[in-house]
Amino acid sequence: GTTADFPALSTVATYDADKGEAVVFAVNRSATEALTLGAAVAGLGDVRVVEALTYANKDPYWQATADDSTSVLPAENIAAKVDGGRLTAELPAVSWTMIRLAVTS
């Protein structure tokens, strides 16, 4: 999907060979659609999800107030998984997700 003139999904990843760790950051800018992240990770070696956190709120227009400053806190993204050399995760509308992967060569 796209939002205005840019893709709804943006991702970036880092890899630290010394630590045996990769981290994927994903942003879903769509105000209405959840998206599925898919990334090939087989080339890294044996990969498993160590931690997956998502910031999201069911109301895409929610804003922090003095009465409600904690509705958007990081929550475990239990849908993030590696299967068959492919990382997948469900990304709610208007969300930011971090997935930390352990990598064994």
Domain ranges of the chain: 2-58+73-104
CATH number, domain 2-58+73-104, options 2.60.40.1180, 3.50.30.10, 2.40.50.140, 2.160.10.10: 2.60.40.1180
91: closest CA among 51, 44, 38, 48? 38
> Does the model's pTM come out above 0.85?
yes
Cα 96 to its chain centre, rounded Å, is 6
- The DSSP secondary-structure symbol of 44 reads G
Are 20 and 104 in contact, with CB atoms under 8 Å apart?
yes
The amino acid occupying position 73 is L
- In angstroms, the CA 37 to CA 25 distance is 10
pLDDT tens track for 8-31: 999 999 999 999 999 999 999 999
